[in-house]
Amino acid sequence: MCRHVADGAPILFAARDEALGLAACEWQFGCGAPGESADDERVVPLEEVVRRDATAVEVVLHPRGTVLRRDDATARWRTERGPVLFPHRASRRWPRFDPSYPPRRGEPLETSDLRVLADVSEWGLHVVRGASNGDAPAFAFSIGLFRTFDHPEVAIFGLAPEILAAAVRGVAERVRAGERFDEGDVADGILDDRAVAFRRIVLRHYPPYLGYAVWYHGGARFPALQVAWADAAGHFPWQRWFPRELRELQPVLFEPEPA
């Protein structure tokens, strides 16, 4: 931010860089005065800027290359330059869901929360992933597919975290291209060596397995699918011949079919 804003001046300029160099900051905030040099800049955490002025989060909700300005601290932000935003409309396929997306009035936003908002605005989704931890298998799931593409969020378990994250991104790319997945669908190409099947996750499993997505949507107010992978012989976890040692890697978050 510029030194004037650092000293208490209102934020009247906000931008998100198109590309980041080694010493660049993704976000810029200024008072709008012309002629400021790099010597006038101060580096502060983004969450501190948003904590000080909640309206500054507006630039986080835009893709890279966006420049926003306003005339005074009470005026609305206007887009001076930037790409077209992803359309955010009420769901046509699941009208019963009514998400309450952040930023929500009075809710503090941490660094990780702001990154979720930034990624959804830039790519249409954020991927949450984690390694195996004791009895809990490795996982990856999406945040943002429902808002951006009116498609269920997806979750996958039990393989290396980088493979799981790539699978979620692969689903997102196919959704972006116009493909849709729903309960009972089977697909190839999402994992290199095996087929996957899509099953609807039961709501009671949302908090323990999709907690960050629950936060983002303001509750269990979104559809979600488990991406279940088959063994080498093509058997899925709910089928009789699926290996017992692999069952622990994929928690069954849907209503299983009879064996």
pLDDT tens digits for range 175-223? 999 999 999 999 999 999 899 999 999 999 999 999 999 999 999 999 9
Residue 38 has pLDDT above 70, yes or no: no
Structure-token match 């955010």, residue found: 88
- Residue 65: what are its φ and ψ, rounded to 5°? 90, 5
Per-residue pLDDT band at 255 (split at 50, 70, 90): confident
Q: Please report, rounded to a whole number, the percentage of residues in the chain having pLDDT higher than 90.
A: 78
Looking at residue 259, its pLDDT comes to: 45
Looking at residue 36, its pLDDT comes to: 66
User: Mean pLDDT across the stretch 70-80?
Assistant: 95
* Beta carbons of 155 and 143 less than 8 angstroms apart: no
Q: How many CB atoms lie within 10 A of CB 156?
A: 27
How many whole angstroms separate alpha carbon 234 and alpha carbon 183?
18
Structure-token match 């969020």, residue found: 153
How many whole angstroms separate alpha carbon 229 and alpha carbon 182?
15
Tokens of 49: 């800027």
pTM of the full structure:
0.92
Give long-range contacts, CB 8 A cutoff, 24+ apart: 130-135: 130/161, 131/161
How many whole angstroms separate alpha carbon 117 and alpha carbon 195?
31
How many whole angstroms separate alpha carbon 43 and alpha carbon 27?
10
Q: Is the dihedral of CA 89, 90, 94, 99 positive or negative?
A: positive
How many whole angstroms separate alpha carbon 115 and alpha carbon 109?
10
* Beta carbons of 227 and 164 less than 8 angstroms apart: no
Looking at residue 89, its pLDDT comes to: 86
Report domain extents, the chain: 3-81, 111-247
User: Mean pLDDT across the stretch 53-72?
Assistant: 95
DSSP helix/strand/coil, 142 = strand
DSSP helix/strand/coil, 126 = strand
* Beta carbons of 56 and 45 less than 8 angstroms apart: no
Give the residue from 53, 51, 60 showing the smallest Cα distance to 16. Answer: 60
Where helices occur in the chain by DSSP H, the ranges are 3-6, 46-52, 111-123, 145-149, 161-176, 206-209, 211-217, 244-247
